[in-house]
Structure 1
Amino acid sequence: MFYWFLKFIALGPILKLVFRPRADGVEHVPADGPAILASNHLSYADWLFMPLVVPRKVSFVAKAEYFTTPGIKGWLQKTFFSGTGNIPIDRAGADAAAGALLSAKRVLGAGELFGIYPEGTRSHDGRLYRGKTGIARLALETGVPVIPVAVVGTDVVAPPGKKFGRWTRPHVRFGKPLDFSRYAGLENDRFILRSITDEIMYEIMRLSGQEYVDMYATRAKEESKKGDSAKGDEQRKPAA
């Protein structure tokens, strides 16, 4: 109930009035039944604008800590994250990835929409990075369609490393559903998982217009930090 209160009364109308987000291809999102919405990830604002233009509820996974912090702050945090469609990672899994998979399967098993960022983290430079194969495993184990999504402009509204940026109209594009039923039963074949993931990322790239980098975003961030650190050390060196 709180989700719909935020979406249609408290938060959603304000976001629509201020930012006037645009959306294309919403008709590709099924009116009922489970589906995976696989999106690029430019900003923390992505999970606000993408569900905003979809008539149905979209659930994402979030760290369990957001739901277990004690005290009033913890209650407010839990209420907000639950109300905005986030669900805790199921720690019954052996690790965070397995826990996220369990939580996602529960959402899809209930016939709902599940949102996921295949890159695993936000892009630090606006480029699209290699997708992790968890999304392919999820698609094969549940048998549900994957809808590629591109969110454009949110890195202007809320740039990486900053809480606020400048005004622009975010644009959300939905592609046609991708059916991977031809690979049923091959969820343990790593080559199949990589092939499916790359196909999804290609569609996201096509929708977003981003430059694609065949490297995981986490590694790219680490290399970028090392490069910045090396430049800083070089600049601090005394002149000969």
Structure 2
Amino acid sequence: MFYWVVKAILGPFLLAVFRPWTEGAENVPKQGPAILAGNHLSFADHFFGPLQIRRKVISLGKADYFTGRGIKGFFTRLFFSGVGTVPIDRSGGKASEAALRTGLRILREGHLLGIYPEGTRSPDGRLYKGKTGVARLALESRAPVIPWAVINTYEMMPPGRPLPKLGIRPGVKFGKPLDFSRYYGMEDDRLVLRAVTDEIMYALMELSGQEYVDKYAASAKVELERAARAAAKG
């Protein structure tokens, strides 16, 4: 209920102020489970990605969003609960398996599951290598995968910027469902998982028009931070 209250309050404001556009929304099934696999450019993706979809989108988010203290922590929990985020532990190992099970449960219940295969926001607006968790979800759930590309949100609200810029129209493109039925029963094969993930990332690259980088976004962030520190030292 809170999800729809937040959407009803924020939706008209965002539509009026930012005039977001959408293409291919008809590719999102009107009922039944599906995985929305998207690029991740900005905090604003949480607002504009699901804005013009009539169904609720449940996403997986890091548990840190729900453990903050004080007034900021309260409003952070409130926001992410309101946009349909389910907290998960992203520390790896058993935590990753638990996150997978959470995603499968959401799909078994017939919901739309939103996931960002890059694992974190792009540090520079490019598209980075996807993690294979999305492939395991697709093969174990046998749910269709809908590529979901946000456009212009990096320019509007890059990482570190607290408020979005005005005058930039964000957009969302939904691609046609990807069929991985030829791989069903092969979810334990690492090569298959990588092939499925790369096919999803290729579809996102075509939809978004982003430059693709064959490395993980988290590693790229570390490299950029090191370069910035080195430049500061001069």
Fold shared, TM-score > 0.5 on shorter chain: yes
Q: Where do 1:11-90 residues align within 5 Å?
A: 11-67=10-66, 76-89=75-88
Q: Secondary structure at the match of 1:220?
A: helix
Q: Where do 1:41-190 residues align within 5 Å?
A: 41-67=40-66, 76-89=75-88, 95-167=94-166, 168-190=168-190
Tell me: CA distance 1:75–1:148, structure 2 relative to 1, closer, same or farther (3 Å).
Answer: same
User: In structure 2, how many angstroms separate the alpha carbons of the residues matched to 1:143 and 1:89?
Assistant: 22
Q: Secondary structure at the match of 1:52?
A: coil
Q: Secondary structure at the match of 1:163?
A: coil
| Amino acid in structure 2 at the alignment position of 1:145 | P
Contact kept, 8 Å, 1:90 with 1:102, in 2: the verdict is: no
Provide runs of 4+ in structure 1 moved above 4 Å: 68-77
Who is 2:197 aligned against? 197
**1:98, CA displacement in angstroms?**
1.9
**1:90, CA displacement in angstroms?**
7.0
Tell me: CA distance 1:216–1:74, structure 2 relative to 1, closer, same or farther (3 Å).
Answer: closer
Query: Where do 5+ consecutive residues of structure 2 fail to align?
Result: none
**1:145, CA displacement in angstroms?**
0.6
Who is 1:6 aligned against? 6
1:230 aligned onto 2:230: yes
User: In structure 1, how many angstroms separate the alpha carbons of the residues matched to 2:226 and 2:89?
Assistant: 34
Tell me: CA distance 1:123–1:68, structure 2 relative to 1, closer, same or farther (3 Å).
Answer: closer
User: In structure 2, how many angstroms separate the alpha carbons of the residues matched to 1:160 and 1:81?
Assistant: 17
Contact kept, 8 Å, 2:65 with 2:76, in 1: the verdict is: yes
Tell me: CA distance 1:166–1:102, structure 2 relative to 1, closer, same or farther (3 Å).
Answer: same
User: In structure 2, how many angstroms separate the alpha carbons of the residues matched to 1:71 and 1:104?
Assistant: 29
**1:99, CA displacement in angstroms?**
2.5
**Which TM-score applies when normalising by structure 1?**
0.90
**Which TM-score applies when normalising by structure 2?**
0.92
Who is 1:238 aligned against? none
User: In structure 2, how many angstroms separate the alpha carbons of the residues matched to 1:63 and 1:215?
Assistant: 21
Q: Secondary structure at the match of 1:37?
A: strand
Query: Where do 5+ consecutive residues of structure 1 fail to align?
Result: 236-240
Q: Secondary structure at the match of 2:15?
A: helix
User: In structure 1, how many angstroms separate the alpha carbons of the residues matched to 2:122 and 2:58?
Assistant: 21
Contact kept, 8 Å, 1:90 with 1:103, in 2: the verdict is: no
**1:155, CA displacement in angstroms?**
1.2
Contact kept, 8 Å, 2:20 with 2:48, in 1: the verdict is: yes
Contact kept, 8 Å, 2:139 with 2:185, in 1: the verdict is: yes
Who is 1:214 aligned against? 214
Structure 1 residues 24-53: Cα deviation after superposition (integer angstroms, max 9, x where no partner) = 000000000000001000001101101101
**1:77, CA displacement in angstroms?**
4.2
Contact kept, 8 Å, 1:88 with 1:103, in 2: the verdict is: no
Root mean square deviation of aligned Cα: 1.9
User: In structure 2, how many angstroms separate the alpha carbons of the residues matched to 1:232 and 1:132?
Assistant: 32
Contact kept, 8 Å, 2:100 with 2:133, in 1: the verdict is: yes
Query: Which one has a bigger Cα radius of gyration?
Result: 1
